[in-house]
Amino acid sequence: MIVIQRLIKDRVLQITALLVVISLFIGRPKASDISFATLWSILAMMTVIQIFEHLHILDYWAYRLTSRAKNTRQLTWWFLFLAIFASMFLSNDVTVLTLVPLYLRVAKKYQLPEILPVTLIGMAANFGSAFTPFGNTHNIFLMHQFQIDLRQFFGWSIPLLAVSFLVLVLLSLFLRNVPVPNVPAEHIHIQMRPTMFAIAVACVVFAGVIGLVPAWLGAVLAIALSLALDPKDMRDVDYAVVLTFAGFFIIVSVVGQIPWVIHFLAGLENSEESVYLSGVFTSQVISNVPSTVLLARFTGYVEALFYGSNIGGVGTLVGSMANLLVFKQYMIYGNRPHTLFFVGFTIFNLIGLILLGCAGYWLTVR
């Protein structure tokens, strides 16, 4: 019942479901257009993420690292480092949901800056999740859709991460640097045996993403481990993401059969540059996940689509789901006016988009 209530309240799923219903009046989706391997992998990742949430792994490292900060820049850099690393494995969404409230609690207690650090944490989560094949859902989709090998993938993601890191460092220089009191580390006990099991299952899930084992195997093992640790955790798995992605496949399958849409998008996707720019700009309007699913149907320029969709996650509030979650968390835990945060968030994200967008264009056409 709790799961159904959460699904009903999920706004993104509501919009997707409405669009699916509308699309079914236009045409019929093809089963071959639905990537079930992608759906299995996303379900597996959502379950693994919930397992790590249950074990409080990210909370443990967050308190350990931030207790060492001496000033606002050090504190922010520790959060950025953790956001980048955590989002590589736990997704940008979970990283944001964990680190943004934690930073805002510290900021409220010690009267620290909020707008720029929280904005940078959100950007760092997007950047880190782009580095691995399983860091975000559109990377998982691209891996399954185009059968990308690891060497090729990291050949794209390593330069992107390097440039992204430089952008974060540059933007962090706008932060007023003042001393901060010692942030006490809360005692969080890590259960080693369940953690080792979780890491082992995560490795199987990752192997499914890159095609070494069937994608369903990782999902089955993840669900089994979650049930063994605490059956109640399965209620907290984000099933809405899986259903939303299934909806995207249905919508794109139908839309992709409309002649004028085929002609229009095929015309846009005839070069690496146009694919890259289409990925960046459509992400600003419809978010990078549906943008990736839509554009992938009409192009073979995978590298350009990879850069466009991942860089497109920076910019507007709807560029990625993580951006919306940052704003939502700030509305709950922030201490400054929400409008002021929205303006600051947008300005710094657009600066980041311009800097990273130029670098991404060079990486695409080099």
CA separation for the pair 195, 225 (Å, rounded)? 11
pLDDT of residue 337: 85
CA separation for the pair 65, 183 (Å, rounded)? 10
pLDDT of residue 2: 77
pLDDT of residue 304: 93
Of 123, 84, 78, nearest in space to 102 by CA: 78
CA separation for the pair 351, 170 (Å, rounded)? 11
Please name the helix (run of DSSP H) or strand (run of DSSP E) that holds residue 146, with its range, or none.
Answer: helix 137-146
Q: Please check whether residue 309 is in contact with residue 282, taking contact to mean a CB–CB distance below 8 angstroms.
A: no
DSSP label at 258?
Answer: -
CA separation for the pair 101, 107 (Å, rounded)? 10
Of 72, 97, 71, nearest in space to 83 by CA: 97
User: For the whole prediction, is pTM greater than 0.75?
Assistant: yes
pLDDT of residue 168: 95
Q: Please check whether residue 304 is in contact with residue 272, taking contact to mean a CB–CB distance below 8 angstroms.
A: yes
Q: Please check whether residue 57 is in contact with residue 196, taking contact to mean a CB–CB distance below 8 angstroms.
A: no
Q: Please check whether residue 276 is in contact with residue 44, taking contact to mean a CB–CB distance below 8 angstroms.
A: no
Mean pLDDT over each residue of the chain, to the nearest integer: 85
pLDDT of residue 116: 94
Handedness of CA 120, 135, 183, 77 (dihedral sign): negative
**Hunting for tokens 């709807």 — which residue is that?**
318
CA separation for the pair 50, 239 (Å, rounded)? 11
CA separation for the pair 38, 30 (Å, rounded)? 16
Nearest-5° Cα angle at 281, 101 to 37: 70
Q: Please check whether residue 38 is in contact with residue 209, taking contact to mean a CB–CB distance below 8 angstroms.
A: no
pLDDT of residue 164: 95
| Gap between the terminal Cα atoms of the chain | 52
Q: Please check whether residue 96 is in contact with residue 326, taking contact to mean a CB–CB distance below 8 angstroms.
A: yes
CA of 182: how far to CAs of 64, 65, 106, 147, 319, in Å? 12, 11, 11, 48, 35
* 3-class state of residue 26 by DSSP: helix
Which residues in the chain come in under a pLDDT of 50? none
179: β partners = 71
CA separation for the pair 119, 225 (Å, rounded)? 35
71: β partners = 179
Neighbours of 186 (CB within 10 A): 12
